[in-house]
Amino acid sequence: MSLESAVVRDTAAAALTAGVALALLRFWEELAKRGVFEQVLNRKLVHISVGMVFLLFWPLFSSGSYAPFFAALAPGINIIRMLLIGLGIMRDESVVKSMSRHGNYRELLKGPLYYACTITLATAIFWRTSPLAIAAICNLCAGDGVADIVGRQFGKEKLPYNPSKSYAGSLAMFLAGFISSIGYMHYYHSFGFVEESWFMALGFSLVSLATAFVESLPISSELDDNLTCKAPFPWRREELVVVTCPLLIK
């Protein structure tokens, strides 16, 4: 494919991806405005769905070196939105209601902004040929989001070292992060982007286990910031690759 054709394809793919992402956000904002779900649940549904749907569109982009940067435009636009609204430059109550915990627009400068930044960086730096991008986004979106929903509904049995976290929530985080990672490994393998293997699956399980453990620690309940966990990715037998997996603190 020529450079000109690749740029045209990537521009069209970026426009479609950004359009779908913004439409999905608007959908959740409308539900939040109508009070269809509780605010906390609505926030986590946004948290899960946006990242997972975004990954579906990566195969639309070309194999050119600029493709990941075109793809990163969609979450990059959301970074700008979070900054404008969080700083009070722009007002949008539906966005605030769908993405904040307590309805304070300043909250968008924390979790929602970190979320958008993490997905943008994972896209631009690792991209679809790296299992690191799959693991980072799946554990951030599916793992962390499902953990909160399940923990609130079924988390009666608390962890002995952290009473604000539950066995159910931690198990849900591990399973959701791992299963979604395996699903996208197979999805990208069908396009020839990655070579699926039991060894890669083992790497995903270790990462999901590590992120679930770090999220269960007491510090994750005390900090309102990005929590960084470093976990080994044994994609190659000769070496251990260490990757940073940012998680949002509830």
Summarize pLDDT for 29-47 with one digit per residue, the tens.
888 888 888 888 888 898 8
| Maximal CA-CA distance, the chain | 59
Q: What is the pTM of this model?
A: 0.83
Give yes or no: residues 37 and 135 share one domain.
Answer: no
Q: Flag whether pLDDT at 237 surpasses 80.
A: no
Give yes or no: residues 223 and 184 share one domain.
Answer: yes
Give yes or no: residues 12 and 45 share one domain.
Answer: yes
Q: Flag whether pLDDT at 9 surpasses 50.
A: yes
Q: Flag whether pLDDT at 220 surpasses 90.
A: no
Give yes or no: residues 84 and 164 share one domain.
Answer: no
How many separate domains does the chain show?
Answer: 2
Domain limit, last residue, from 90, 108, 127: 127
Domain limit, last residue, from 127, 157, 183: 127
What domain range includes position 51? 1-127
Give yes or no: residues 18 and 117 share one domain.
Answer: yes
Give yes or no: residues 72 and 156 share one domain.
Answer: no
pLDDT band for position 238 (cuts 50, 70, 90): very low
CB distance 134 to 193 below 8 Å: no
Give yes or no: residues 144 and 84 share one domain.
Answer: no
Give yes or no: residues 161 and 50 share one domain.
Answer: no
Mean pLDDT of 9-18: 95
